[in-house]
């Protein structure tokens, strides 16, 4: 999968993955780096990860999507393959104003994957198609 993130962000996720795997925590220096690279969405994203709000949905055909339960209780379907989230913050901050790399939902997906705490759920190909078309949740 092609990455849409700068090399510094990719390295940060690798460092988080390594240290979290070894210690089950993210050290302060990496938390500071996370805040520096991703700004105001870093802490809300960590909160989503702490609440185990990220689920990887996989279908038999190999398609994957990530469902993130936002703080408001709304489900967002995030696609890392094309770096997309349907939330208003992504549309405004990332796409329209180009002020951020991503929203808290996509950052939560990257973090939960790096920390290996992403919930897993299998869905049928039909459910995935419906989910990706945005007409209903699985």
User: C-alpha angle 60/64/66, rounded to 5°?
Assistant: 135
How does pLDDT run across 6-24, given as a tens digit for each residue?
Answer: 889 999 999 999 999 999 9
Burial, 39: exposed, middle or buried (Cβ in 10 Å; 0-12, 13-18, 19+)? middle
Q: Is residue 136 packed enough to be buried (19+ CB in 10 Å), middle (13-18) or exposed (0-12)?
A: exposed
pLDDT tens-digit series, residues 43-88 = 999 999 999 999 999 999 999 999 999 988 999 999 988 889 999 9
Q: What is the DSSP string of the chain?
A: ----S-HHHHHHHHHHHHHHHHHSS--HHHHHHHHHHHGGGHHHHHHHHHTT-EEEEE-TTS-EEEEEE-TTS-EEEEBTTTTB--SHHIIIIIIIS---S--HHHHHHHHHHHTT--EEEE--HHHHHHHHHTS---
pLDDT confidence of residue 4: 65
> Per-residue pLDDT for 133 more than 90?
no
pLDDT in tens, 76-127: 999 988 889 999 999 888 888 777 788 999 999 999 999 999 999 999 999 9
pLDDT (0 to 100) of residue 2: 44
pLDDT at residue 1 greater than cutoff 60: no
């Amino acid at each position: 999968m092609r990455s849409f993130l700068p090399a510094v962000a990719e390295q940060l996720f690798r460092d988080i993955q390594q240290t979290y795997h070894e210690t089950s925590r993210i050290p302060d220096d990496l938390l500071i780096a996370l805040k520096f690279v991703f700004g105001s969405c870093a802490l809300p994203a960590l909160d989503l990860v702490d609440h185990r709000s990220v689920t990887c949905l996989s279908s038999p055909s190999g398609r994957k999507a990530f469902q993130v339960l936002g703080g408001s209780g709304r489900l967002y379907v995030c696609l890392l393959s094309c770096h997309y989230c349907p939330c208003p913050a992504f549309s405004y901050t990332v796409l329209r104003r180009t002020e951020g790399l991503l929203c808290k939902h996509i950052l939560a997906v990257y973090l939960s994957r790096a920390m290996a705490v992403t919930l897993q759920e299998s869905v049928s190909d039909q459910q995935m198609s419906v989910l990706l078309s945005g007409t209903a949740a699985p």
